[in-house]
Amino acid sequence: MAQSSNFQDGTKFPTVFGFKTGNVEIGDYDRGVMRTLGVELQDPVIGNRPRLFLRVPGIEGTEEDKVAVVFVNPEQVFSYYKVPMILVRRDGADPAMSRWYQQDEYRIAGADSQVVTKTSSYSGLDLGKGWTYLESKQRAFPYDISYTIELVARKRLDVNKVLRKVLSVFPPYGNIVVLDDLGSARTYFAQQGGITEITEINDIVTRYPAYAVTLTVWGELDHNMPERRKTAENINETLYQKNIEPIDP
C-alpha cells in the first residue's frame, strides 16, 4: 500500500504513505456478493421475466437459461417467487476485533497543501521539506458478514446444476469484489460454511428440491471521517540536544 517516501529530488519524507481510500458500508457487500456470483440485471423487464438473473445452462422452466435471483433481506418483505430461483439473504454482521489493529489507513498531503522547508528554531538550519497539511483516516473496523444462498428448482438434476454454478464461484476459500464510494475495487476473503439440504415437500405432488449454501465474508465497515492536521514548520530542541557537539563525518 505504501508509496515512495522520497520526493523526485531525493528529499527524504517518510511521514506520507498510501493513497486516499473511500468508505464501504453494508450494502456494498450485498452488491459484491451478487456481482461475484455473476448476477445480471435485465432492464427493462419484459413480461414475467426476472429482473435479476443468473445464467445456468440446461435448466428447465427458464427462458434463455435465466434463473431468477431475489435478494430477500432486509428491504423486500414480499417478493414474487418463480421456480427455479436463487434467494440471497444477509443473515448478520458481527465485529471481528481479533483482526483489528490501530493504524491509519492512509496519510497523504491535504488539500491545498504546499511543500515547505522545515527549519531548526535553534540553529536556523534546514531540517528537510514537508507538506503544510496532512490528511489521514483511521483504519476501518473488521466485521464478519454472513449470507445464506438458497437454491430452489422443480427437479433434482436442475437444482444440482445451480449448486454446481454457485460452488464454482464460492468454494470453501474464495473472494468477493466490493466497490467503495470512490469506485475503487477491493477484494475480501469469503469462506463457504457448507451446504444444507432444505427440500420442501408440500404434498405427494408438490416437491421442490433445494439447497442452502452459507457464506461468511471477512469484511470491514468504514465510517471514520478523514482528519486534516497542520504540520510543524520548525522544531524546538531540548537543552540536551543544544549541548551536543556535531559529529564530523
- CA distances in angstroms from 212 to 75, 187, 199, 227, listed in the order given: 20, 24, 9, 44
pLDDT at 145: 97
Identify the CA nearest to 32 among candidates 186, 139, 153.
Answer: 186
- SS3 assignment, position 173: strand
Distance CA 130, CA 13 (A): 7
The model's pLDDT over 111-154, given as tens digits with 9 standing for 90+, comes to: 777 777 767 666 667 666 777 778 878 888 899 999 999 999 98
Distance CA 5, CA 164 (A): 48
Question: Which residue has better confidence, 224 or 66?
Answer: 66
Q: What are phi and psi of 177, to 5 degrees?
A: -110, 125
pLDDT at 130: 73
**Picking from 50-54, 93-97, 102-106, 127-131, which range would have the lowest pLDDT averaged per residue?**
127-131
pLDDT at 17: 64
Identify the CA nearest to 45 among candidates 78, 76, 82.
Answer: 82
Could you tell me the sign of the dihedral formed by the alpha carbons of 50, 51, 53, 55, in that order? positive
Most confident of 63-67, 126-130, 174-178: 174-178
Residue 194 pLDDT grade (very low, low, confident, very high; cuts 50, 70, 90): very high
| Cβ proximity of 88 and 29 under 8 Å | no
**Close Cβ partners of 115 (under 8 Å, ≥ 6 residues apart):** 7, 129, 130, 131, 132
Distance CA 159, CA 179 (A): 30
pLDDT at 243: 46
Distance CA 161, CA 7 (A): 56
**179 has pLDDT over 80:** yes
Question: Which residue has better confidence, 219 or 247?
Answer: 219
**Picking from 66-75, 123-132, 219-228, which range would have the lowest pLDDT averaged per residue?**
123-132
Instruction: Enumerate domains of the chain plus CATH numbers.
Output: 26-97+140-224 (3.30.2000)
pLDDT at 93: 95
pLDDT at 169: 95
Q: By percentage, how much of the chain surpasses pLDDT 70?
A: 72
* CA geometry: angle 158, 161, 166, nearest 5 deg: 130
**Picking from 144-148, 175-179, 230-234, which range would have the lowest pLDDT averaged per residue?**
230-234
pLDDT at 134: 80
Mean pLDDT of 150-173: 94
| Cβ proximity of 69 and 35 under 8 Å | no
Distance CA 210, CA 204 (A): 17
pLDDT at 46: 58
